[in-house]
Structures are given as structure tokens and as C-alpha cells.
């Protein structure tokens, strides 16, 4: 890979490419509550080169092993964390793994990768493209924010000896462009609301585009249910669902008390996806004060959650995520934006792991139904056979990847 320079970033007019095999006919138009990511670009990332993927309300990446399904979700989550202000070294603990395989270093020993996305919202389509140097030191060396056919922000590494990049953003006042240094370990777009005064029409456009991108990226919940952790009792009050869903019992207690309608839908989902008859979902408080989740059965019987199989536990956890929303999951949403104007994006790598065909169909139908409100999106990966099954669900976009 050649040295990463700002001018090597994709231009705003670069054509998007939809991978062969992408199912587009099943898309159902959904008006989102707030700004959302509509395209993910992996210009040079892991196994991807020059790739652009559509992102709809329910989007699944399918394909054989080694086709880059997981790395696509990893890039999406990385952009989300950068949009939330996380430092580069926390977002990419192993940056060399993100460099395209076989990419050669330049004369200065530099290698890197490039990712980006488009966010739609009130400001129209806004594009973000980021060039990241992985070796010899991890740093952002180029960033471009564009909207309305104009470049609103660019950054470039001018002095390798300084931990800064030179930023320039649109002003359209007495001074057409404002220049200032920004740290090379943070996303410049996320810092703009702190640096731009908003006094001119141009500055207001920059702020609107940056805030739209940040809001679209920040409300992301990466979900990886771990059945082996979900079987143990959990402390009461730990009711914001964690990534591994190990505190599911505490969240169930909260939904049962505060979200009657959603809890009823969760019981219906459990009945459809778990063996036997499920009439209720609740918790049992143990002698030490901890909570254990229980499935109510016909005739007043109950089954402790630890007796369920891995597939049933994963199914229950994923259904709970889809039905609870940002108020009950551990995400850092844009606190200054009303919840009615935000959309939660759930990332589920290996969505179909341990699930049978019926459970997957129920989850996808639930995701489409909940997503129709505009407050939730599901982006996941599935194995090749289940990708074909997913195509049969109206409202699901399937992106097929090849190794």
C-alpha cells in the first residue's frame, strides 16, 4: 500500500459499488427517527479493497468463511467509536490486522488502511472518509467530510514529528477557510462542534454535517450474546444490557416493570422460538438478593433460564435487544439529542450462531417490525445457507461477499 495521504482519499464523487448478489428487491422504505448510516465504505481494510456496501434498516452480510463479513462489522463499530470520541489506540488495539493483506510499506516504512461511510439526515447525504496509518505509529493522517457537493473538512499530516494534523474547514465568511491543528488520534469530525463557532452560513453547514455524522454513528450497540455467561444469577439493579447479555435477568426485571407492551412482545417471541409452551418471562429473587431469569410454562410450571440450550439463550438475548432499544442497553447515545430523534444500530456478528431456521426467521421478522418505527436498525452477519433463507424475509437487505 502506498503512503496514506489526504489526496488518496476517495473523492466525494466516487461511485458506490453494490456487491454482486445483493438483495435489493426486498427493501422496505422506512423513515428513520434521526440520522442513519446508509453506506459503509472499505476502501482498503483487512480483506476489502474499493468496497462500498448499502446499509438499510435490516442488513445482513452473507458469504463463505474468509469473505470479510466480520471485518465489515468491525469497521462499522470502529467508525462508531471514533464518532463517539474514543482515542485511536482504543478503537484499534491491533491496527496491523486492519491493513490489507500483502500491502507493502512505502520508503518510510508506512502502511495503513482507509474506511468511511455516508450518513443521511436533515443535512442531506454526508460522506466521511478516513485514512489511518497503522505502522510505524498509529495515527489519523487524512480525513474528509463532504456534503452538498462541497468539501467541508479536510485534515492532512504535515509534520510527522508532531502528534497533530492540519485541519481546514469551510467558513464562507470573510475568511473562506479556517485552519487549525487537531490531534492525530481523534476523529476531527467529532471535534468540530467544539471548534466551530457557527457564526457564518458556511460554519453552520459544517456544524450540521458534523453533528449529523456523529449522531448517526454514536448510537451503536455491538451485541455478542454469551450463553455460558447468561446462566448464572446476576445482581439486582444491573439493568443496562451489556454486550455479552450476561445480565439478561436484571434487564428482564426492568422490562417487566416498566415496558409492559414490549415485555408482552418478548413473551410472544419466546413462545415462538423456545421449545415447549412459554406463557411468561420473569425473574426469581434468590436468598442472596441476586436474580435468576425464569420461563413460565403452562400449568404454573417454570423453567430456570440456565436449563435452556445455547440457541434458545442467544435467541432470547437477541429478541430482548431488538425490543428494548437504547434506553435499556449499554450504549453511549448522543445525550444532547432527544431519544425520539435517534436510531439505535444493533451490530450482531454471527447473528445465526446456534439458531435454527425458525428462530432466525422469527428474529428477522421482529427486527423488520421494530425497525419500521425508525428507531432501530439491525446489521449482522450470517452463514451462507442462512443468507439464502434471509432473502425470503421482506424488508431484509442481504449483501453477498466473496473471498
How large a percentage of the chain has pLDDT more than 90? 70
pLDDT at 227 over 70: yes
Average pLDDT of the residues in 155-160: 93
Residue 13, pLDDT score: 31
pLDDT 10s digits, 13-64: 333 344 544 543 333 445 666 899 999 999 999 999 999 999 999 999 999 9
Asked if residue 204 has a cis previous peptide bond (ω within 30° of 0), the answer is no
Q: How confident is the model at residue 174 (pLDDT cuts 50, 70, 90)?
A: confident
Angle between helices 310-324 and 357-371 (to 10 degrees): 10
Contact 129, 43 (CB under 8 A): yes
Residue 4, pLDDT score: 41
pLDDT at 356 over 60: yes
Which of 59, 126, 68, 135 has the alpha carbon at shortest distance from 95? 135
Angle between helices 69-83 and 188-195 (to 10 degrees): 20
**Phi, psi for residue 283 in degrees, rounded to 5:** -130, 155
**107: Cβ contacts below 8 Å, ≥ 6 apart:** none
pLDDT at 235 over 50: yes
3-state SS record for the chain? CCCCCHHHCCCCCCCCCCCCCCECCCCCCCCCCCCEEEEEEEEEECCEEEEEEECCCEEEEECCCCCCHHHHHHHHHHHHHHHCCCCHHHHCCCHHHHCCCCCCCCCCCCEEEEEEEEEECCCCCEEEEEEEEEECCCEEEEEEEEECCEEEEEEECCCCCCCEEEEEEECCCCCCEEEEEEECCCCHHHHHHHHCCCCCHHHHHHHHHHHHHHHHHHCEEECCCCHHHHCCCECCCCCCECCCCCCHHHHHHHHHHHCHHHHHHHHHHHHHHCCCCCCEEEEEECCCCCEEEEEECHHHCEEEHHHCCHHHHHHHHHHHHHHHCCCCECCCCCCCCCHHHCCEEEEECCCCCCCCHHHHHHHHHHHHHHHCCCCEEEEEEECHHHHHHHCCCCCCEEEECCC
Classify the C-alpha dihedral 94-100-105-106 as positive or negative: negative
Q: How confident is the model at residue 343 (pLDDT cuts 50, 70, 90)?
A: confident
For residue 235, the tally of other CB atoms under 10 A from its CB is 13
pLDDT at 332 over 50: yes
Residue 333, pLDDT score: 53
Which of 140, 145, 131, 117 has the alpha carbon at shortest distance from 208? 145
Classify the C-alpha dihedral 60-311-222-32 as positive or negative: positive
Average pLDDT of the residues in 2-10: 38
Average pLDDT of the residues in 162-175: 88
Average pLDDT of the residues in 336-340: 50
pLDDT 10s digits, 93-151: 999 999 998 888 988 899 999 999 999 999 999 999 999 999 999 999 999 999 999 99
- The average confidence (pLDDT) of the chain is 87
pLDDT at 5 over 90: no
- Sheet containing 302-304: give its strands across: 280-285, 291-296, 302-304
Which of the pair, 12 or 253, is modelled with greater confidence?
253
Report the C-alpha gap between 71 and 109 in whole angstroms: 24
Classify the C-alpha dihedral 220-341-85-83 as positive or negative: positive
Which of the pair, 141 or 176, is modelled with greater confidence?
141
Contact 123, 212 (CB under 8 A): yes
Residue 6, pLDDT score: 36
Helix (H, G, I), strand (E, B) or coil at 312: helix
Q: Which residues pair with 251 in a beta bridge?
A: none
Average pLDDT of the residues in 245-273: 91
Residue 329, pLDDT score: 65
Q: Which of 219-228, 234-243, 263-272 is the least confident region?
A: 234-243
> In the structure grid, which three cell numbers stand for residue 222, read together?
455491538
Residue 223, pLDDT score: 93
pLDDT at 257 over 80: yes
Residue 107, pLDDT score: 85
Report the C-alpha gap between 275 and 308 in whole angstroms: 9
Q: Which residues pair with 288 in a beta bridge?
A: none
pLDDT at 190 over 50: yes
Contact 51, 17 (CB under 8 A): yes
pLDDT at 85 over 50: yes
**Would residue 102 be called left, alpha or beta, if left means φ above 0 and alpha means ψ between -120 and 50 degrees?**
left
pLDDT at 331 over 60: no
pLDDT at 240 over 90: no
Which of the pair, 214 or 7, is modelled with greater confidence?
214
Amino acid at each position: 500500500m502506498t503512503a496514506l495521504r489526504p489526496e488518496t482519499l476517495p473523492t466525494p464523487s466516487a461511485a458506490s459499488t453494490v456487491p454482486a448478489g445483493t438483495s435489493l428487491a426486498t427493501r422496505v422504505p422506512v423513515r428513520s427517527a434521526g440520522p442513519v448510516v446508509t453506506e459503509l465504505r472499505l476502501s482498503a481494510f483487512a480483506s476489502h479493497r474499493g468496497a462500498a456496501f448499502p446499509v438499510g434498516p435490516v442488513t445482513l452480510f452473507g458469504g463463505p468463511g474468509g469473505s470479510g463479513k466480520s471485518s465489515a462489522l468491525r469497521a462499522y463499530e470502529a467508525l462508531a467509536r471514533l464518532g463517539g470520541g474514543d482515542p485511536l489506540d482504543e478503537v484499534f488495539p491491533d491496527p496491523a490486522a486492519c491493513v490489507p493483506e500483502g500491502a507493502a510499506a512505502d520508503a518510510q516504512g508506512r502502511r495503513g488502511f482507509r474506511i468511511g461511510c455516508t450518513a443521511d439526515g436533515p443535512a442531506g447525504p454526508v460522506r466521511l472518509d478516513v485514512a489511518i496509518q497503522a505502522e510505524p505509529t498509529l495515527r489519523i493522517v487524512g480525513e474528509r467530510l463532504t456534503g452538498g457537493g462541497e468539501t467541508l473538512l479536510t485534515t492532512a499530516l504535515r509534520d510527522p514529528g508532531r502528534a497533530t494534523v492540519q485541519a481546514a474547514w469551510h467558513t464562507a465568511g470573510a475568511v473562506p477557510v479556517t485552519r487549525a491543528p487537531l490531534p492525530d488520534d481523534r476523529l476531527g469530525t467529532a471535534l468540530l462542534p467544539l471548534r466551530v463557532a457557527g457564526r457564518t452560513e458556511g460554519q453552520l453547514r459544517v456544524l450540521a454535517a458534523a453533528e449529523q455524522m456523529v449522531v448517526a454513528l454514536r448510537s451503536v450497540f455491538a451485541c455478542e450474546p454469551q450463553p455460558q455467561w447468561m446462566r448464572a444469577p446476576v445482581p439486582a439493579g444491573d439493568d443496562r444490557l451489556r454486550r455479552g447479555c450476561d445480565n439478561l435477568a436484571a434487564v428482564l426485571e426492568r422490562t417487566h416493570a416498566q415496558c409492559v407492551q414490549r415485555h408482552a412482545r418478548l413473551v410472544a417471541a419466546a413462545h415462538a422460538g423456545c421449545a415447549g409452551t412459554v406463557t411468561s418471562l420473569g425473574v426469581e429473587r434468590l436468598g442472596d438478593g441476586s436474580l435468576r431469569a425464569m420461563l413460565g410454562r403452562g400449568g404454573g410450571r417454570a423453567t430456570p433460564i440456565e436449563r435452556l440450550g445455547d440457541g434458545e439463550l442467544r435467541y432470547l438475548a437477541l429478541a430482548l435487544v431488538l425490543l428494548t432499544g437504547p434506553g435499556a442497553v449499554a450504549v453511549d447515545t448522543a445525550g444532547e439529542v432527544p431519544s425520539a430523534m435517534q436510531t439505535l444500530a444493533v451490530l450482531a456478528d454471527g447473528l445465526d450462531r446456534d439458531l435454527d431456521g425458525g428462530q432466525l426467521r422469527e428474529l428477522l421478522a421482529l427486527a423488520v417490525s421494530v425497525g419500521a418505527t425508525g428507531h432501530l436498525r439491525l446489521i449482522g452477519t450470517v452463514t451462507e445457507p442462512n443468507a439464502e433463507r434471509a432473502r425470503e424475509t421482506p424488508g431484509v437487505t442481504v449483501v453477498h461477499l466473496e473471498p
